[in-house]
Amino acid sequence: MFSKPAIGGALVIAALFGATLPQAVQAQAVQAQAVSAQAVPAKDAAKDLILAQGADPLGFNPTRFSAPNTSYLHQLYDTLVEIGPDGQPQPALAESWERSPDGLSVTFKLRPAKFHSGRPLTAQDVVYSVRYHLDPANAANLLARLSAVKGVEALDDRTVKLTLSSLAPGLYDLLSALFILDEKAVANIAQQDAGSGPFVLKSWTPGVSYTMERFADHWSNDKTKPDRITVRIVPDDAAGAALLQTRAVDVLYTAGPLALAQLKDAAGTKIERIKRAPRTHYLALNTSRPPLDNKLVRQAISHALNRDMITSVVYNDFASPSCQPWAESHWAYAPAVDTLCGYDLEKAKRLMKESGVGPFTMTVNTSTDSYAPGSVDTAQILKEDLAALGITLNIATYEPAKARELILNANFDMLLHNYIEGGNDPQFIIPSAIYGPTKGRTKFTSPAFEAIVDKAGKTLDLNERKAIYADISKLIADEAFMLPFAHEFRPIPMADGVKNFAMDGSGFSLLQQVEVAR
């Protein structure tokens, strides 16, 4: 008597569930068809490479440089040029190029290439891609740095001409991050790549993994080592470490402090430090908020920032202390500048006294480790030292979304954050919102800074540029509105048998030549 109505009730519930979520149910049916893609990938193929990263890619649009996207950018997409380890441009889709005598235009000759769709890649596609990046509606992350690009035109199927409004010394670094899109495939870019890179996207199961396979028609196919690259989504740091220890993955692409500690002496694994793409940690001082408008106060804070201790304690010696925007391995690095910002509390106290500013209270914005690694621990160290100067430091910690909002609106007294573009040409970061000089988030402006940054943009001579950037570094250290304090060499845990793992200057992975010995 009871059971029949109960069954009926269950059926009604099931029907209602189905009516409420018909698309979800359909999606499950689709999932059933594609179930093989959802399995944890088998690791029997000799030339398989398996990475683990913490979060899903945000679709396959290569104009978005969010961290989870960096594992596929150079794999699925090509660029006109690549930047070699020496910082100089090398041919990629463009097999050659020529700069006009006035330096304001560059003509690129394309090599024969195909998109993954099979369609030949032509100069028109390059034109489309540049314009796609320039359209604000597409919110390309490179847009703010493309202001020097005045125009682009296809001279013929294999020749494309880029016109510039200024010399744009960092042009080739920009082009090495400007990925070429297949116009015909862009509509479906949320779930399928639209590129011509050495690998083609084969499957993606959000939350589980995505797989890329070697693209047989790629122009550099003979250089490609893996047949297949699988990126598994492993949100938990400790789980990622466990998967590497049991060799269920070959590389832990996003490793937090927990995984690094767990893997420090783990058998069969190693931790490589990628020096080409350092993460530069900095303390930004908002110069529009007194007394941070006082240069002597800022200098005092700089000398109270214990760079050596932070590097050692917070970043476990995976970083080098510094007070300039780029690391020691960069061509623009000026050794003399790093002597200007030593930890010296007595000097800091003297500077505070000279400034005439009495004790005051400030807040430093920090964020969780996923967005600003080590910022909270750094703030704790800083708080102790600033207390000796009579500065009471409150530490505010925000989750990434709120932290980003505050940074974009320059809504902070002090900010502990980082950038990862320091491996690129200095033009990538100095004119940007990070340092200013006119629209920087620290609100620091000075005619001298503007003039010297302007000068840096007007020459292509490397020696001349080195001298100018040394002066810029010196000015930044002296004015102390931005206090870079550590260049963290990204630690990538991997199995002992993995070779040739690399990254470009922006921290985008280069997996084409990775070899895996089982």
Partner 1 sequence: MLGFVLKRLLQAIPVLLITSLLIFVGMRLSPGDPAAMLAGNDASAETIAAVRSRLGLDQSYATQYLKWLGALLTGDLGRSMVSGLPVSRIVGERIAPTLELATGGLVASLLLGGVLGTLAGLQPNSLLDRMVSAVAALGLAAPMFWTGMLLVAVFGVALKWLPPAGRVPFSQGLGAALASLAMPVATLAIANAPVIMRFLRDSIQETRRADYVRAAHAKGLSKTVVARDYIVRNSLIPTVTAAGILLGNLIGGAALVEIVFSWPGMGSLLVSAMGNRDYSVIQAVLLIAVFGFVFANLIVDLLYGLLNPRIRHADQH
Tell me which residues in 283-312 interact with partner 1 (CB under 8 A). none
Helix/strand/coil (H, E, C) string of 166-204? CCCCCHHHHHCCCCCCCHHHHHHCCCCCCCCCCEEEEEE
Nearer to partner 1 by C-beta: 16 or 462? 16
Range in contact with partner 1 (rule: CB under 8 A) among 158-166, 238-246, 313-321, 388-396: 238-246
* 133 is a site residue for partner 1 (CB under 8 A): no
* 9 is a site residue for partner 1 (CB under 8 A): yes
- The only residue of 238, 336, 448, 460 in contact with partner 1, by rule CB under 8 A: 238
How far is the C-alpha of 461 from the C-alpha of 482, rounded, in Å? 27
407-426: which residues touch partner 1 (CB under 8 A)? 407-408, 419
55-74: which residues touch partner 1 (CB under 8 A)? 55-59, 61, 64-65
* 36 is a site residue for partner 1 (CB under 8 A): yes
* 267 is a site residue for partner 1 (CB under 8 A): no
Range in contact with partner 1 (rule: CB under 8 A) among 221-229, 285-293, 375-383, 393-401: 393-401
* 264 is a site residue for partner 1 (CB under 8 A): no
Tracing tokens 């847009």 back to the chain, one arrives at 143
* 17 is a site residue for partner 1 (CB under 8 A): yes
Nearer to partner 1 by C-beta: 338 or 421? 421
* 234 is a site residue for partner 1 (CB under 8 A): yes
Closest separation in Å from C-beta 22 to partner 1: 4
- The only residue of 93, 94, 121, 242 in contact with partner 1, by rule CB under 8 A: 242
Range in contact with partner 1 (rule: CB under 8 A) among 227-235, 321-329, 332-340, 492-500: 227-235
Long-range contacts from 2-7, C-beta under 8 angstroms, 24+ separation:
none
Closest separation in Å from C-beta 240 to partner 1: 8
Nearer to partner 1 by C-beta: 108 or 371? 371
Nearer to partner 1 by C-beta: 96 or 191? 191
* 13 is a site residue for partner 1 (CB under 8 A): yes
436 exposed, middle or buried (CB, 10 Å; 0-12, 13-18, 19+)? buried
Closest separation in Å from C-beta 234 to partner 1: 4
Nearer to partner 1 by C-beta: 316 or 370? 370
* 40 is a site residue for partner 1 (CB under 8 A): yes
How far is the C-alpha of 477 from the C-alpha of 515, rounded, in Å? 42
195 Cβ contact partners less than 8 Å away, ≥ 6 residues apart: 62, 76, 77, 78, 115, 116, 179, 180, 181, 182
- The only residue of 98, 112, 139, 227 in contact with partner 1, by rule CB under 8 A: 139
- The only residue of 207, 335, 358, 447 in contact with partner 1, by rule CB under 8 A: 207
* 451 is a site residue for partner 1 (CB under 8 A): no
Range in contact with partner 1 (rule: CB under 8 A) among 91-99, 141-149, 280-288, 450-458: 141-149
Beta strands in 15-148 (DSSP E): 48-53, 81-83, 89-91, 94-99, 105-110
Judge contact between 470 and 336, C-beta under 8 A.
Answer: yes
Nearer to partner 1 by C-beta: 77 or 219? 77
* 189 is a site residue for partner 1 (CB under 8 A): yes
Nearer to partner 1 by C-beta: 33 or 463? 33
* 235 is a site residue for partner 1 (CB under 8 A): yes
* 185 is a site residue for partner 1 (CB under 8 A): no
Q: Buried b vs exposed e over 387-400: b needs ≥16 C-beta within 10 Å?
A: eebebebebbbbee
- H-helix or E-strand spanning residue 447: helix 447-456
Give the orientation angle of helix 375-387 with respect to helix 295-304, to 10 degrees: 110
Closest separation in Å from C-beta 395 to partner 1: 18
309-348: which residues touch partner 1 (CB under 8 A)? none
Provide the sign of the torsion angle of the four alpha carbons 23, 25, 27, 33, taken in this order: negative
Nearer to partner 1 by C-beta: 206 or 290? 206
- The only residue of 116, 145, 214, 276 in contact with partner 1, by rule CB under 8 A: 145
466-495: which residues touch partner 1 (CB under 8 A)? none
CA 240 centroid distance within chain: 21
* 205 is a site residue for partner 1 (CB under 8 A): yes
How far is the C-alpha of 465 from the C-alpha of 219, rounded, in Å? 34
What is the amino acid identity at position 453? Answer: V
- The only residue of 329, 432, 446, 513 in contact with partner 1, by rule CB under 8 A: 432
105-110 and 159-164: which strand pairing? antiparallel
CA 455 centroid distance within chain: 27
- The only residue of 46, 102, 216, 401 in contact with partner 1, by rule CB under 8 A: 401
Q: Buried b vs exposed e over 354-380: b needs ≥16 C-beta within 10 Å?
A: ebebeeeebbbbbbeeebbbbbbbbbe
How far is the C-alpha of 314 from the C-alpha of 375, rounded, in Å? 9
- My answer on whether omega of the bond before 291 falls inside 30° of 0, hence cis, is yes
89-91 and 269-285: which strand pairing? unpaired
* 460 is a site residue for partner 1 (CB under 8 A): no
How far is the C-alpha of 501 from the C-alpha of 510, rounded, in Å? 7
**DSSP state letters, 213-269:** EE-TT-TTGGG---SEEEEEE---HHHHHHHHHTTS-SEESS--HHHHHHHTT-TTE
